[in-house]
Copies of this chain bind each other. A is one copy, B any other.
């Protein structure tokens, strides 16, 4: 496994990689969710590239950029065990030099939900992902279903800007009690960790209602809200039942369409998101 920092080093190392090349972009502090992306890339591609960069432009001014967990030595150990070929760990100055001034913005699909709660977030995501795509030029790029709207935003960007690659969205990895794996789970104290299962319990309750014949989107949102409101440590930012490609809220019945159930919930000071696809 080779580790590179600068863009010229990356370009030189990229030239040595056999095609097809798979890229798993990460912000480091890797957990089994990230590793499942790397593993799927390893199965499907001749070469596997992983980027590790905590991207400041996707954090809001009052978010957790400063405290975001980091452990590069551990990350590299884990990636070596997954047999990654190349790891790119650029510095802040490499990704955003002082005269940096170009932004990629995605429209409607980036506006509701996370886009509404985190202004500028998806501009930061789209811009850094466009940079990663151009720097690594992968044939396939691996993202997690955990960040469902992010995947939808990047899918739209790939289509709109003609990126020549296949987007692969991998299933959310969960703890045995259903909590979606996230680097931010380390922020939870034991009491909050127990309360955090409310997200998965809410998704499961709505899924069960759907399976038992409830197809009114608003009833499904209510089913999720009911579970979350019963959890004293949980503060709901949003619950959603939306069209998965456009992220537009569904009104009325699902009518056999696929729908994305999703939510953002604060457990104490920790903001968690989760989602589940139903129907279709």
Query: Is the pair A105, B102 in contact by a Cβ cutoff of 8 Å?
Result: yes
Query: Is the pair A161, B102 in contact by a Cβ cutoff of 8 Å?
Result: yes
Query: What's the Cα separation between A134 and B101 when bound, in Å?
Result: 20
In the complex, A109 has a CB within 8 A of chain B: yes
Query: Is the pair B164, A134 in contact by a Cβ cutoff of 8 Å?
Result: yes
B residues less than 8 Å from A130 (CB atoms): 161
Query: Is the pair A161, B131 in contact by a Cβ cutoff of 8 Å?
Result: yes
- In A96-115, the 8 Å CB interface with B consists of 99-109
Interface size class of chain A, counting residues whose CB lies under 8 Å from the partner chain: 20 to 34
Given A7-B162, A164-B11 in contact, is the A102-B156 Cβ separation under 8 Å? yes
- In A43-102, the 8 Å CB interface with B consists of 99-102
**Minimum CB distance partner of A157 in chain B:** B102
In the complex, A135 has a CB within 8 A of chain B: yes
Query: Is the pair B101, A103 in contact by a Cβ cutoff of 8 Å?
Result: no
Query: What's the Cα separation between A135 and B105 when bound, in Å?
Result: 19
B residues less than 8 Å from A3 (CB atoms): none
Interface string of A1-33 (1 = CB under 8 A from B): 000000100010000000000000000000000
In the complex, A163 has a CB within 8 A of chain B: yes
In the complex, A272 has a CB within 8 A of chain B: no
**Minimum CB distance partner of A103 in chain B:** B105
Query: Is the pair B134, A102 in contact by a Cβ cutoff of 8 Å?
Result: no
- In A242-261, the 8 Å CB interface with B consists of 246
B residues less than 8 Å from A105 (CB atoms): 102-103, 105
In the complex, A235 has a CB within 8 A of chain B: no
Query: What's the Cα separation between A99 and B156 when bound, in Å?
Result: 9
Q: In the complex, which of the residues B100, B127, B156, B162 contacts A101, with contact meaning CB atoms closer than 8 Å?
A: B156
B residues less than 8 Å from A106 (CB atoms): 101-102
B residues less than 8 Å from A127 (CB atoms): 161
Interface string of A175-199 (1 = CB under 8 A from B): 0000000000000000000000000
CB distance from A182 to the nearest CB of B (A): 27
**Minimum CB distance partner of A137 in chain B:** B164
Query: What's the Cα separation between A104 and B134 when bound, in Å?
Result: 14
In the complex, A126 has a CB within 8 A of chain B: yes
B residues less than 8 Å from A157 (CB atoms): 102
Residue contacts A-B, CB under 8 angstroms, 19 given = A99-B246, A100-B160, A101-B107, A101-B109, A101-B156, A101-B160, A102-B104, A102-B106, A102-B156, A102-B157, A102-B160, A102-B161, A104-B104, A131-B160, A132-B162, A134-B161, A134-B164, A135-B162, A135-B164
5 other contacts beyond A7-B162, A101-B156, A102-B161, with CB at 8 A cut-off?
A: A100-B160, A101-B160, A102-B157, A131-B162, A132-B162
